[in-house]
Amino acid sequence: MSSLKIYQTNGRKQLFSPKKVNEIGAKSAVSTVDIKINASSTYQTIDGFGASFTDSAAYLINQVLDADVKDELMRKLFDHDAGIGICVVRNPMGASDFARTIYSYNELPSGEVDYQQELFSIAHDLESVIPLSKQALKINPQVKFMASPWSAPSWMKTTNSMIAGQLKTDCYQAFANYFVKYIQAYADNGLPIYAITPQNEPLFEPTHYPSMKMCAKSQANFIKNYLKPAFVLNKINTKILCYDHNWDRPDYPLQLIDEVGAAVDGVAWHWYGGKAIAQTQVKRAYPDKEVHFTEGSGGEWIPAFEPAFSNLIRTGIEILRNHSKSFVLWNMALDEENGPTVPGFGRSTCRGLVKINQQTKELEYTLDYYGLAHFSKKIKPGALRIDSTSDSQIRTVAFKNTDGSIVTVVLNDSEVDKNVRLIVNDTEIIHCHAPSKSALTVVYCS
């Protein structure tokens, strides 16, 4: 016997709300658009959806919230039934812009070096990042962990600082050893690292938070001649994803993959420049390389609920239609001032999945939480993307889960209300009303 589940967001007062068919039935005065699903035409396999336990987010969740509130939040983040089923966590390796202090796992007094990483320590992460990561994995055993550094330790840098600069040429092996130690330390804590990137946003060199410039040629050299050999030597199977930056520079991963070949497993992308079609451009050139979307933040640059919500759904659909196996937002949590941020950063304009007020301990689920839910709650790891019709007015992406259920995410991106008719393999599943800028997640089991 077939079944149908529907979730709708239609403005701030109706956020990822379960709906019955008769509650959103088609309206006779509104035109209908057919969405045709072909379940036999398949694309990428999904790893999952998620966000990041930055130092700031981990601190807020683990140390500001009361224990019972924290546990409820973790369930609402990671549990598929009680929450939205987050399955991918990207942890910064050391300080990012969203950290209370600037730190790495091996900072040394000026003039000292530690090429073999004998003084390496993840003591900082034992405070909140690791306990929360372990709790997430206990709630949802399907969680995969990714990791990215914003900078190498200061003594490895041309600036002798975690701010700006490049990796010293005589520290390439030391930095590879740094990755090995990190992965081994996390494994010792029961947290396998699924994938890493050598550097977060390697073409961006801000001077107000940790950063490290790494051109494509340098990153290719690091991966091919240092990082991958170090992984092989230490029997580490963690995936290596290159680039980890915006869509506007597909030339970077194209050049890098051409040089490193099998040493890299795929490409990581961000949404702060360019368009998602860049993912497909690189995928067509190197079809054996994976596509991952590892960071995108919502924020005050789109201040109103609408168009911020539709922008999140629209962009998520495009990311997935352009072959990405993952869709990872940025901070899991931020406070009432969009922080904490590293000293000297100033006030952030970013938004987390939740807002935690440090003064009152009040917890608020943001539009990013509910937007991510449209994908993460019902599209499970192992799902295959299947073909669905989509255009600039009615945007869609569809998946077939391993249990055979078909999940379709729909955004009415037009300025007028529409009816949509969902047709799976020539069978009409639902004919319903989709108000302008509303989103639907439809789950169909035959």
231 plus 195 within the same structural domain: yes
Closest CA to 326 of 88, 32, 161, 105: 88
From residue 404, give the alpha-carbon distance in Å to each of 29, 373, 380, 399: 35, 20, 11, 10
Establish how many alpha carbons lie within 13 A of residue 218's alpha carbon, considering only the half-sphere containing its beta carbon.
16
Give the end of a domain, one of 334, 355, 378. 378
- Amino acid identity of 239? K
The 10 Å Cβ neighbour count of residue 382 is: 15
pLDDT value of residue 2: 78
350 plus 243 within the same structural domain: yes
CATH number reported for the structural domain that contains residue 271 in this entry: 3.20.20.80
Count of all residues that appear for the chain in the document:
446
SS3 377: coil
- Rounded to an integer, what distance in angstroms lies between the CA atom of residue 217 and that of residue 227? 14
Find residue 354's DSSP bridge partners: 333, 365
360 plus 395 within the same structural domain: no
Residues 6+ apart with CB under 8 A from 221: 172
pLDDT value of residue 391: 96
pLDDT value of residue 1: 60
Contact call for residues 418 and 32 (beta carbons, < 8 A) = yes
231 plus 128 within the same structural domain: yes
28 plus 141 within the same structural domain: no
Number of domains the chain is built from: 2
- Rounded to an integer, what distance in angstroms lies between the CA atom of residue 349 and that of residue 440? 28
SS3 328: strand
211 plus 178 within the same structural domain: yes
Would you give per-residue pLDDT tens digits along the chain (446 residues)?
Answer: 679 999 999 999 999 999 999 999 999 989 999 999 999 999 999 999 999 999 999 999 999 999 999 999 999 999 999 999 999 999 999 999 999 999 999 999 999 999 999 999 999 999 999 999 999 999 999 999 999 999 999 999 999 999 999 999 999 999 999 999 999 999 999 999 999 999 999 999 999 999 999 999 999 999 999 999 999 999 999 999 999 999 999 999 999 999 999 999 999 999 999 999 999 999 999 999 999 999 999 999 999 999 999 999 999 999 999 999 999 999 999 999 999 999 999 999 999 999 999 999 999 999 999 999 999 999 999 999 999 999 999 999 999 999 999 999 999 999 999 999 999 999 999 999 999 999 999 999 98
330 plus 404 within the same structural domain: no
9 plus 98 within the same structural domain: no
Give the end of a domain, one of 349, 378, 407. 378
Domain that holds residue 81: 47-378
- Amino acid identity of 134? K
- Rounded to an integer, what distance in angstroms lies between the CA atom of residue 191 and that of residue 117? 20
pLDDT value of residue 5: 97
pLDDT value of residue 269: 99
- Rounded to an integer, what distance in angstroms lies between the CA atom of residue 133 and that of residue 194? 13
Phi, psi values for residue 433, rounded to 5°: -95, 135
- Annotate 281-304 with b (16+ C-beta within 10 A) or e (fewer): ebbeebeebbbbbbbbbbbeebee
Residues 6+ apart with CB under 8 A from 31: 418, 419
Residue 269, burial from CB neighbour count under 10 angstroms (0-12, 13-18, 19+): buried
130 plus 152 within the same structural domain: yes
Structure tokens at 191: 């947290």
- Rounded to an integer, what distance in angstroms lies between the CA atom of residue 272 and that of residue 257? 22
pLDDT value of residue 438: 98
Computed from CA positions of residues 346, 350, 352, 358, in that sequence, does the dihedral angle turn out positive or negative? positive
